[in-house]
């Protein structure tokens, strides 16, 4: 089973947006931060694919003062009151996956957890792990990332990050294994990403991003991998209430 590369990338991006690039201050008690918008994206059809796919998807995010947040298809909760160290559980919805033979898997929940640590004002360390709950595929994926953000001119900022994904044998088998090839667990890919954000007005924000990833190890050696390097790009327009 090949997980849909673009949807997985959008989910990862949403998690990072909610967990790794948020304001360091906590919301006042009883308040909620609500944002709606749309995301246009283009990426490989799935990890290791030469084919590309384009999507236009609605975007929704909300965070409550009690720590609960929704970001796209992900629901989570901040368990720490320390704005410099945030951690908690995650649950997300996988919209489906594309099999190597052309079929697709159905909807399924994904369970996980995240942690953020901000040792410096301009440096954030993030990690999240998740495991799909389905008979069609199993295993655990761990994603780690270091990110920084700087203001260029008033209302414009630039964020950049580097990271890596690691998976166990079951996860690698579901994504890249065949009847004759069983990849072992370990480093799955490394990636670098950048995002420019423009605060158009008090309510509207426009951002564009690009992410380059490189499959490694057993994922790169699989016969199901057509190309090791994948480039994904996105354009997001948000309206904040």
Give the mean model confidence (pLDDT) for residues 63-71. Answer: 89
Percent of the chain at pLDDT > 90 equals 56
User: What's the pLDDT score for residue 25?
Assistant: 56
Name the band, by pLDDT with cuts 50, 70 and 90, for residue 106: low
Classified as helix, coil or strand, 185 is coil
The model's pLDDT over 194-233, given as tens digits with 9 standing for 90+, comes to: 999 999 999 999 999 999 999 999 999 999 999 999 999 9
The model's pLDDT over 113-140, given as tens digits with 9 standing for 90+, comes to: 999 999 998 899 999 998 887 666 678 9
Give the mean model confidence (pLDDT) for residues 16-44. Answer: 72
Classified as helix, coil or strand, 187 is strand
Backbone angles phi, psi at 121, to 5 degrees: -60, -35
CATH topology of domain 2-240: Porin (2.40.160)
Give the mean model confidence (pLDDT) for residues 24-33. Answer: 70
Q: In what order do the strands lie in the sheet with 2-3?
A: 2-3, 97-98, 104-105
pTM assigned to the model: 0.85
CB 229 within 8 A of CB 27: no
Q: How far apart are CA 198 and CA 157, in angstroms?
A: 7
Q: How far apart are CA 58 and CA 38, in angstroms?
A: 4
User: What's the pLDDT score for residue 96?
Assistant: 62
The model's pLDDT over 175-195, given as tens digits with 9 standing for 90+, comes to: 898 889 999 999 999 999 999
pLDDT, mean over the chain: 84
Please name which of 103, 73, 105 lies closest in space to residue 90, comparing C-alpha atoms: 73
User: What's the pLDDT score for residue 8?
Assistant: 52
């Amino acid at each position: 089973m090949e997980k849909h590369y673009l949807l997985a990338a959008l989910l990862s991006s949403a998690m990072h947006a909610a967990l790794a690039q948020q304001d360091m201050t906590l919301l006042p008690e009883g308040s909620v931060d609500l944002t709606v918008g749309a995301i246009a994206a283009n990426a490989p059809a799935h990890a290791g694919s030469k084919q590309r796919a384009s999507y236009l998807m609605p975007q929704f995010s909300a965070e409550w003062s009690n720590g609960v947040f929704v970001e796209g298809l992900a629901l989570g909760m901040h368990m720490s009151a320390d704005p410099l160290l945030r951690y908690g559980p995650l649950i997300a919805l996988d919209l489906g996956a594309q099999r190597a033979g052309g079929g697709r898997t159905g909807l399924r929940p994904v369970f996980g957890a995240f942690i953020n640590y901000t040792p410096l004002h301009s440096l954030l360390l993030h990690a999240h792990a998740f495991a799909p709950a389905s008979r069609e595929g199993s295993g655990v994926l761990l994603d780690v990332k270091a990110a920084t953000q700087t203001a260029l001119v008033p209302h414009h900022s630039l964020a950049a990050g580097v990271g890596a994904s690691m998976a166990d044998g079951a996860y690698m088998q579901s994504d890249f294994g065949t009847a004759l090839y069983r990849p072992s667990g370990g480093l799955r890919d490394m990636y670098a990403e950048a995002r420019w954000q423009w605060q158009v007005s008090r309510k509207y924000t426009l951002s564009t991003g690009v992410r380059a990833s490189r499959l490694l190890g057993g994922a790169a050696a699989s016969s199901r991998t057509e190309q090791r390097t994948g480039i994904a790009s996105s354009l997001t327009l948000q309206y904040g209430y």
